[in-house]
């Protein structure tokens, strides 16, 4: 399992994983391989590849717009799988499929698990599929060794934490705050308590995301968690980079700064 290997490699160096989220198809699906290589080369330890959905109700304005643009350009679930399959061989980092449930159920849970795995995805997270609803999905995800990742949030009870610890694989995605995705000025003060509360019930690595926008946030999370997820900030920079004639240097720079911040 590539996720475990990567986490244990990093753990040996006492470094948390830098996990980057992008929306596939923005600015274009053809550029996905280049962007994945850019992220890998600049310090990303794992990448969450977002599949665009018309009604992303867990996402804030930045990712909503990225998904809208991706869909307008004709991005579909099978096309994303195809593109990932094409460039996977040259990438070393683990890839996580990040999606809403409807496009996947429409494609077929079993077919998606099988094809996402063979395209080279290591894990999959469905934002609107809590573990209680995931029986069918779990059967197929496990059968095809696509690790199912679930989320926990500040509202999660001990019972929910136990359920996710039991059903989840790869890592636990800890949502830093109540709310949708999007960069914020500050991390919530009760975040260390939340991570500690989850830690009591699991040996799985814990990655913190939502609202992570700068190196300072990354540094703070690095002290308490096994991974830190940056999404909207990078999605916004990819959009701006595309508008500036595909200038990706600012992204490479910020990723290096983030990676450095995980090492402190």
Annotated active-site positions, please? 48, 59
Spatial contact of 167 and 127, defined as CB atoms under 8 Å apart: no
Residue 232 binds another protein, judged by CB under 8 A? no
The structure tokens 């000025």 sit at: 185
Residue 35 binds another protein, judged by CB under 8 A? no
- For residue 175, list its beta bridge partners: 209
Q: Min. distance of Cβ 259 from another protein in angstroms? A: 28
Binding span for another protein by CB under 8 A among 2-10, 97-105, 221-229, 234-242: 97-105
Residue 119, classified by CB atoms within 10 Å of its CB into exposed (0-12), middle (13-18) or buried (19+), is: buried
Residue 231 binds another protein, judged by CB under 8 A? no
The three-class DSSP label of residue 249 is helix
Spatial contact of 97 and 68, defined as CB atoms under 8 Å apart: no
- CB of 152 or CB of 251, closer to another protein: 152
Give CA–CA dist 83/172, Å, rounded.
27
The CA-based angle 118-122-125, given to 5 degrees, is 115
Q: Min. distance of Cβ 55 from another protein in angstroms? A: 5
- CB of 43 or CB of 209, closer to another protein: 209
Among 43, 60, 168, 211, binds another protein (CB under 8 A): 60
Residue 41, classified by CB atoms within 10 Å of its CB into exposed (0-12), middle (13-18) or buried (19+), is: exposed
Q: Min. distance of Cβ 60 from another protein in angstroms? A: 8
Residue 86 binds another protein, judged by CB under 8 A? no
**Binding-site size, another protein (CB under 8 A):** 40
Residue 103 binds another protein, judged by CB under 8 A? yes
Q: Min. distance of Cβ 257 from another protein in angstroms? A: 28
Whether residue 78 has a cis bond before it, omega within 30° of 0: no
Q: Min. distance of Cβ 263 from another protein in angstroms? A: 30
Spatial contact of 257 and 228, defined as CB atoms under 8 Å apart: no
- CB of 19 or CB of 164, closer to another protein: 164
Residue 158 binds another protein, judged by CB under 8 A? no
Residue 77 binds another protein, judged by CB under 8 A? yes
Give all strands (DSSP E) within the chain, no chain letters: 17-23, 46-50, 95-99, 123-126, 147-149, 151-152, 172-175, 206-209, 227-230
Among 102, 199, 219, 260, binds another protein (CB under 8 A): 102
- Residues in contact with another protein by CB under 8 A are 53-58, 60, 64, 68, 71, 76-77, 100-107, 127-130, 132-133, 150-157, 160, 164, 175, 178-180
């Amino acid at each position: 399992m590539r996720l475990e290997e990567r986490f244990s490699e990093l753990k040996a160096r006492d470094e948390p994983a830098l996990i980057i989220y992008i929306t596939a198809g923005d600015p274009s699906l053809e550029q996905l391989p280049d962007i994945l290589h850019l992220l890998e080369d600049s310090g990303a330890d794992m990448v969450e590849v977002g599949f665009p959905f018309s009604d992303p109700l867990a996402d804030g304005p930045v990712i909503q717009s990225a998904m809208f643009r991706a869909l307008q350009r004709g991005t579909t679930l099978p096309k994303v799988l195809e593109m990932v399959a094409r460039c996977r061989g040259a990438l070393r980092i683990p890839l996580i499929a990040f999606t809403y449930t409807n496009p996947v159920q429409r494609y077929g849970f079993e077919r998606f698990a099988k094809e996402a795995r063979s395209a080279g995805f290591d894990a999959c997270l469905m934002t609107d599929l809590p573990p209680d609803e995931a029986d069918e999905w779990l059967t197929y995800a496990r059968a095809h060794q696509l690790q199912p990742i679930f989320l926990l949030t500040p509202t999660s009870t001990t019972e929910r934490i136990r359920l996710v610890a039991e059903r989840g694989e790869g890592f636990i995605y800890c949502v830093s705050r109540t709310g949708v995705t999007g960069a914020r000025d500050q991390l919530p003060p009760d975040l260390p308590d939340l991570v500690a509360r989850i830690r009591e019930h699991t040996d799985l690595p814990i990655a913190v995301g939502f609202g992570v926008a700068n190196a300072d946030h990354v540094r703070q999370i690095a002290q308490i968690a096994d991974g830190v997820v940056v999404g909207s900030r990078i999605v916004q920079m990819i959009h701006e980079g595309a508008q500036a004639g595909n200038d990706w240097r600012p992204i490479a720079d910020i990723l290096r700064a983030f990676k450095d911040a995980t090492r402190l």
